[in-house]
């Protein structure tokens, strides 16, 4: 029986057209399949390297489980795996979510985490097809060049809060982590369950960040026109604009960051978190429909109303939804959950293409799947499998099966005979 070294080294991919396995006795060269993974196991005695001009994905390593090398490659838990432009690991996503919940409990940072996810996704331009130039939920907000955009003032603090979780769970992309944090913050603040999916691919360089100016402004000259211009560009409609605006039920505006709001109010002077700023609602860490009620009534000068907030009750189309949400929190929660899920997927490139659903809640996968911006079709492997199954029963996906007339006649005769037998028994009885 052939023996393999107990320690192996898989070096990072380089630009070579083939993969190679090197041991102490021989070299085996293998044609690579498209993948996106780098493995790293250290050894002083021998090496196993996988290199290619393409990137790697963990799914393509399934072939190794049938190799005699598999026990040696994966037996040492000290080995490390890092993914490049690949799907997030579901187990790590779930663990990261629990850590986010603890972060929320200890820091009361719900509003800024919601904003982090929103601003990463909100740069999407539906008129640009190319990824990542189209913007959207791709993790680009982690780069300084985008963090320094005026609309992102203060979000460096959100990144600092979330970075230790990213360091702990290297199998989770920034794009997924930002959206996971945003949805979890809504849910932990008492909001609706967001039908999320994951598997977003990260951009890899600052050069891939969108240009400044794609996010909404707080006080534009024409608030209604501005809201429609920005959100229509993302592919959102009036109902979704109003529903998403309702997330201002969380958080505060700080004048030193946005130029809007009071330095402090009776609701914010004692925190929680860093004191100060002006909130839209009295309980600004609770997700409910208070935002719509308070804007409609405008009875408290300590509560913030931006020009874009007031526009929701001034524009006839917006007002229909704003009035509805002020009266019906359940309707608001339903529409908000759908709009948030849609926003979180804008512009994203998913791997796997259908995304990853963490909880398996009925209806959740189908709800989130329709918000993917990527085109989905059957893989070549699945197409071949279906074709083989058709051919096994004498057919083909390209043409319908021929009817078996003899079998149909026999079945008809049998059914008629059975009915005649029943009728005869009934008459005799």
Using one digit for the tens of pLDDT, what is the confidence trace for 384-423?
666 676 566 666 555 555 556 677 788 888 888 888 887 7
Q: What is the mean pLDDT of the chain?
A: 79
DSSP 117-148: HHHHHTT--TT--STTTT-SSSSGGGSHHHHT
278-279 vs 37-40, strand pairing mode: unpaired
More confident residue, 371 or 101: 101
Q: What is the pLDDT of residues 265-277, one digit of tens each?
A: 999 999 898 899 9
Indicate the pTM of the whole model: 0.67
Residue (of 4, 145, 142, 139) closest to 64 by Cα position:
4
How many Å apart are CA 162 and CA 177, to the nearest integer? Answer: 8
Using one digit for the tens of pLDDT, what is the confidence trace for 317-333?
999 999 999 999 999 99
Which two tokens mark 125? 């331009």
Spell out the residues 6+ positions from residue 170 whose beta carbon is closer than 8 angstroms to its own.
82, 92
What crossing angle do the helices spanning 238-245 and 316-327 adopt, rounded to 10°? 50
Active site includes 119?
A: yes
Residue 169, SS3 per DSSP: coil
Q: Which of 119, 226, 248, 340 is catalytic?
A: 119
3-state SS class at 21: strand
- Check residue 142 and give its pLDDT: 98
Residue ranges of the alpha helices (H) in 37-89? Answer: 70-74
Q: Which residue has the higher pLDDT, 73 or 362?
A: 73
**Structure confidence by residue, pLDDT tens digits, 107-148:** 999 999 999 999 999 999 999 999 999 999 999 999 999 999
- What does the pLDDT read at residue 380? 63
Is residue 101's pLDDT more than 90?
yes
Using the CB atoms, write b or e for 81-92: b if 16+ within 10 Å: bebbebbbbeeb
Work out the average pLDDT over 334-343.
98
In angstroms, the first-to-last Cα distance of the chain is 77
Average pLDDT over residues 252-267: 93
> What are the residues facing 35 on neighbouring strands?
none
pLDDT of residue 409: 84
Give the model's pLDDT for residue 415. 86
């Amino acid at each position: 029986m052939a023996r393999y070294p107990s320690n192996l080294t898989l070096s990072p991919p380089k630009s070579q057209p083939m993969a190679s396995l090197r041991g102490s006795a021989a070299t085996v060269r293998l044609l690579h399949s498209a993948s996106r993974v780098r493995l790293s196991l250290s050894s002083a005695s021998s090496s196993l390297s996988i290199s290619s001009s393409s990137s790697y994905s963990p799914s393509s390593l399934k072939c190794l489980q049938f190799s005699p090398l598999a026990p040696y490659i994966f037996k040492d838990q000290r080995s490390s795996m890092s993914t490049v432009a690949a799907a997030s690991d579901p187990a790590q996503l779930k663990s990261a979510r629990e850590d986010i919940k603890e972060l929320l409990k200890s820091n009361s940072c719900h509003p800024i985490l919601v904003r982090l996810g929103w601003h990463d996704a909100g740069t999407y331009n539906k008129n640009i097809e190319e990824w990542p130039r189209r913007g959207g939920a791709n993790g680009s907000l982690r780069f300084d060049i985008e963090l320094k955009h005026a609309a992102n003032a203060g979000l460096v603090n959100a990144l600092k809060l979330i970075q230790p979780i990213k360091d702990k769970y290297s199998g989770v992309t920034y794009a997924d982590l930002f959206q996971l944090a945003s949805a979890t913050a809504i849910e932990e603040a008492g909001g609706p369950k967001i039908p999320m999916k994951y598997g977003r691919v990260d951009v890899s360089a600052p050069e891939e960040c969108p240009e400044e100016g794609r996010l909404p402004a707080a006080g534009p000259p024409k608030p209604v026109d501005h809201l429609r211009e920005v959100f229509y560009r993302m592919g959102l409609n009036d109902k979704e604009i109003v529903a998403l605006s309702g997330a201002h039920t969380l958080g505060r505006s700080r004048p030193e960051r946005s130029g809007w709001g009071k330095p402090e109010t009776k609701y914010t002077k004692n925190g929680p978190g860093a004191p100060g700023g002006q909130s839209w609602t009295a309980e600004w860490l609770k997700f409910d429909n208070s935002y719509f009620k308070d804007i409609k009534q405008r009875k408290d000068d300590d509560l913030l109303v931006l020009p874009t907030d007031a526009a929701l009750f001034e524009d006839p189309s917006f007002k229909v939804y704003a009035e509805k949400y002020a009266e019906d929190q359940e309707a608001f929660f339903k529409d908000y959950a759908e709009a948030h899920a849609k926003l979180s997927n804008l512009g994203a490139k998913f791997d796997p293409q259908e995304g990853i659903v963490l909880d398996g809640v009925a209806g959740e996968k189908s709800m989130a799947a329709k918000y993917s911006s990527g085109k989905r079709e059957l893989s070549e492997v699945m197409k071949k499998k279906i074709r083989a199954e058709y051919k096994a029963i004498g057919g083909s996906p390209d043409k319908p099966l021929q009817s078996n007339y003899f079998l149909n006649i026999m079945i008809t005769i049998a059914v008629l005979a059975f009915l005649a037998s029943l009728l005869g028994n009934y008459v005799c009885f």
